[in-house]
Structure 1
Amino acid sequence: MITKKVDVFGLYIYATDTTGDDKLLHAANILAEYIDDDEDGIPDNPKIFKALIEGRGAIVMRKTDRERIAGRHPEGQGLYDEETVPNAKAQGRFDASLEEVLHMVTDVGWAGAYPSVFGREPGTEISNALDKARGGRFEVVPQRYPDDAWFTYYDETCDYDCQNSEYIYWVLTSILGAQDFPGRYEQIKDEWRLNTRKKVQQGDPAAYELFTNPKFKLPTVPPDGKYRAKTFTIQKYP
């Protein structure tokens, strides 16, 4: 059951008693860094932050995907203790909190603040870039993507909206350098080919221009789980 929470700028990360306190606090720091990239204690983009608050963005943590949360509990983006890995890059691993926390920020915040740009339905700016990356507009996952596609996610449970969220994650984290470490390309190449900033800039210029446009004030450095502007504390839930 959910027994604890952390407040990050008025947004909450909830966790079961089986979730390690260190993992919960790490996720809180990751969330803070996505919101406040320069770590001055103030959200970088007030419009995105407003959308996050109004959309009641939240993260719900549990130990593993096999754990079932008993009783009524808050809704939010899922994140598992076992996939949350502080200092992951130094271990040659990937910290899934960089992905799952970002999904909440982009799905609720970016899309809420800029629906014609980051909305996940067909026809938005990010969707048009997605269609190019997949080699066409596919409402359902095709049996085979075109040979010139560079984003080829074959999970049939991932609809167009989901594919968009995954694409946003790949583009941003690649631009930030979070996917650029030994062995990572081999791990992800079946799904995503442009794992560095330079590759995105050269291979997906439409997305690169969008994600580096200063008017959106999107993150410019990858979160490391060491937010400097505040020390977070764990509170009891409820």
Structure 2
Amino acid sequence: MFQSCSKESSGDYGFEVFSKKMNIFGITILATEETSNDKMIHAATILAEYLDNDENGIPDNAKVVDDLIKHKATLVMFKSYGSMKYKKFFHSSKWPDGQTTDKRAVQDLYDDETHPNGAADGIFDASLEEVLHLITFGGYSNAYPEIFGTKRGTAVSKAVDIARGGYFDTIPDEYPQNGWYSYDDETCEYGCQIHEYLYWAITSILGAQDFPGRLDDIEHEWRLNTHEKVKNTDKAFYDIYTNPEYKLPTVLPDGKYKGKIPNIASYLQK
């Protein structure tokens, strides 16, 4: 099942913590030895389903995939948050704003938060979030900067400002009562707020946030947890979402991709 391959570029300091690799439509997934193969394959499948939502073996939006490849989009998987290899990687690579020293777009995901079919047990599968983050900040925000860009004035930023009840460059002491998105992580600046919003809005439309007990868990941060709520309340984003040019996913990934998922390969340093 394992094939030998070497690191693509010099300057990837910290990447020696990874031992396993997969490639989905040119996008890299790296994992530590402690990350289970099943969880890694599941994440790869979720990535494939998001990008090839009709599962015909061809990415739905070639422009987005081209930008993901151009920005060396990489999903990095660890056993758990704060593990020794996690600390070594993020200390060594010194990545600001989702970028490593060689300008990769990087998103982390953890084995212990990845739950295939988790909604059936009342548990959210974080791969649905973190994989989508990689796609939006590595792909959509670069492919369509006037629409999905993370600066004030883009189409999605205007939708965010409506959803939060106004424009806030930093986290306010209290959000206005007329909003439905109130993310309160002090480390999440305006661009980060946009990507968190995209995750909430898209996955709510797809049905990922609609299972027993979920709204109770998330309503302090996001209150439109179903397709109908987003459609009827967040009209600014729904207009973006339904624009056929962007080919955003319309079916929630279920971890059962009909196309071919490549084998896990060995990841070796040069």
- For the aligned pair, the TM-score class normalised by the smaller chain equals over 0.9
2:144 — aligned with what?
Answer: 114
Q: Does the CA-based 8 Å contact 2:44-2:261 persist in structure 1?
A: no
SS at match of 2:184: coil
Structure 2 gap segments, 5+ residues each: 1-16, 94-99
Q: How does 1:48-87 map to 2 (within 5 A)?
A: 48-69=64-85, 70=88, 76-87=106-117
Q: How does 1:86-101 map to 2 (within 5 A)?
A: 86-101=116-131
Q: Deviations over 1:202-222 (max 9, x none)?
A: 110110111121111110000
1:176 — aligned with what?
Answer: 206
Indicate which of 50, 60, 70 corresponds to 1:34.
50
1:23 — aligned with what?
Answer: 39
Indicate which of 201, 224, 234 corresponds to 1:204.
234
Query: Is the counterpart of residue 45 in structure 1 residue 61 in structure 2?
Result: yes
| AA aligned opposite 2:220 | D
Query: Is the counterpart of residue 105 in structure 1 residue 105 in structure 2?
Result: no
1:151 — aligned with what?
Answer: 181
Q: Deviations over 1:50-106 (max 9, x none)?
A: 111111111000011121324767862110100000111111110001000100100
2:5 — aligned with what?
Answer: none
- Between 42-51 and 225-234, report the one with greater CA deviation: 225-234
Q: Deviations over 1:29-64 (max 9, x none)?
A: 001111100000000011111111111111000011
- Provide the rounded CA distance (Å) in 2 between the counterparts of 1:124 and 1:66: 34
1:8 — aligned with what?
Answer: 24
SS at match of 1:198: helix
| AA aligned opposite 2:243 | N
Query: Is the counterpart of residue 164 in structure 1 residue 180 in structure 2?
Result: no
2:153 — aligned with what?
Answer: 123
- Provide the rounded CA distance (Å) in 1 between the counterparts of 2:129 and 2:242: 19
Q: CA deviation at 1:191?
A: 0.3
- Provide the rounded CA distance (Å) in 2 between the counterparts of 1:67 and 1:228: 34
- Provide the rounded CA distance (Å) in 1 between the counterparts of 2:262 and 2:129: 21
- Provide the rounded CA distance (Å) in 1 between the counterparts of 2:202 and 2:22: 25
Indicate which of 246, 255, 259 corresponds to 1:216.
246
Q: How high is the sequence identity, in percent, across the aligned residues?
A: 53
Q: Does the CA-based 8 Å contact 2:204-2:226 persist in structure 1?
A: yes
| AA aligned opposite 1:110 | Y
- Provide the rounded CA distance (Å) in 2 between the counterparts of 1:205 and 1:231: 36
| AA aligned opposite 1:67 | S
- Provide the rounded CA distance (Å) in 2 between the counterparts of 1:17 and 1:169: 28
Structure 1 gap segments, 5+ residues each: none
Count of residue pairs the alignment pairs up: 238
Q: CA deviation at 1:232?
A: 2.6
RMSD (Å) for aligned C-alpha atoms = 1.2
Q: CA deviation at 1:231?
A: 2.9
TM superposition score normalised by structure 2:
0.86
- Provide the rounded CA distance (Å) in 2 between the counterparts of 1:83 and 1:181: 17
Q: CA deviation at 1:179?
A: 0.7
Structure 1 residue runs of 4 or more that deviate by more than 3 Å after TM superposition? 70-75
